[in-house]
Structure 1
């Protein structure tokens, strides 16, 4: 792999809260699930309890704390569907992200999106980028261990043939 900076072989980008502020879409989806399928008065609505946890843990919280009588897999799919619906055309990029992606591209540094979100969500976010792209996407569907475990980042480096110690 040739880059103009041999010290940096790849840029590995997290998505939620780093590339874009997608947390708002997940919270909207959770509120909608509770309103339509659960008990909106139980527990005061979703909070920061679901930020940074797996989709399975978020779904279990909705089921157990808010009385949503759906299976975990159904809850996850509903959350993804509702979040994708909200994301369409409404993604806001974190300050400096677009410039960073442009600079990496200009320098010949490959970029990989690394996220615990499902691939359908990752692809939807990438489709909203104004011109930038990623050389690869490693999503929650591609790994057995999610962040903060290192597997997603190791897979991202591997996807490009990059040495992990030379990735940012």
Structure 2
């Protein structure tokens, strides 16, 4: 069975990193570039534990884990700039992008991500799918991030669709929990995706 749009869905919401964009290898590589500057080795386990959380929380976790005396805001700035500079290395998750293209113009669609707005815009532009979405809700647009449901509820509000009629496509545990809390139709994309060497 491939990935299917639920017959009750009146709108679709997509996570970004690991769902639309196979960005994990690029994120890990850029975290390690930041680590060369600050003196730490990024543990990919942290990425899977925290995927869906804002970058500032990753920075605080790294500072705590490695006992760094760095400013988390400075780490975030360097990480984000390094990531944006590497955007050409991003690859689409074709299994999900094909759903986006199939339902473009048929159902309203939104992106609900823990990434910053700039990061979301850079990635969607690189994947050439920006025009497909009616709304983008980023880490900059909410105060209570995944696993809280605010990101996805805001997507539903912007599209004008009842939360129970929204289907969420998500690869992160925190995001799946957020979608369930929002009372939405929840689809864990991980069993359907070939991430290459970056299996969840």
TM over 0.5: yes
Give aligned pairs, total: 158
Partner of 2:117: 119
User: Alpha-carbon deviation of 1:8?
Assistant: 2.7
Q: 1:83 to 1:76 in 2, by over 3 A?
A: same
Partner of 1:82: 82
CA distance in 2, matches of 1:90, 1:15: 15
Task: Give the unaligned 5+ runs of structure 1.
Answer: 1-5
Asked if 1:93 corresponds to 2:89, the answer is no
CA distance in 2, matches of 1:155, 1:91: 27
Asked if 1:110 corresponds to 2:108, the answer is yes
CA distance in 1, matches of 2:123, 2:112: 12
Mapping of residues 142-157 of structure 1, within 5 Å: 142-157=141-156
8 Å CA contact 1:29, 1:79 repeated in 2: yes
Q: 1:121 to 1:25 in 2, by over 3 A?
A: same
Q: 1:8 to 1:20 in 2, by over 3 A?
A: same
User: Alpha-carbon deviation of 1:120?
Assistant: 0.5
User: Alpha-carbon deviation of 1:68?
Assistant: 4.4
CA distance in 2, matches of 1:165, 1:80: 34
Structure with the higher fraction of residues in strand conformation: 2
Q: 1:154 to 1:45 in 2, by over 3 A?
A: closer
- In the superposition, the TM-score normalised over structure 2's length comes to 0.71
Render the CA deviation track for 1:95-131: whole Å, top value 9, x for unaligned: 322210111115x101101100000100011102235
CA distance in 2, matches of 1:115, 1:52: 15
State the superposition RMSD in angstroms: 2.1
8 Å CA contact 1:30, 1:46 repeated in 2: no
Q: 1:52 to 1:21 in 2, by over 3 A?
A: farther
Which of 45, 51, 54 is residue 48 of structure 2 equivalent to? 51
Asked if 1:129 corresponds to 2:127, the answer is yes
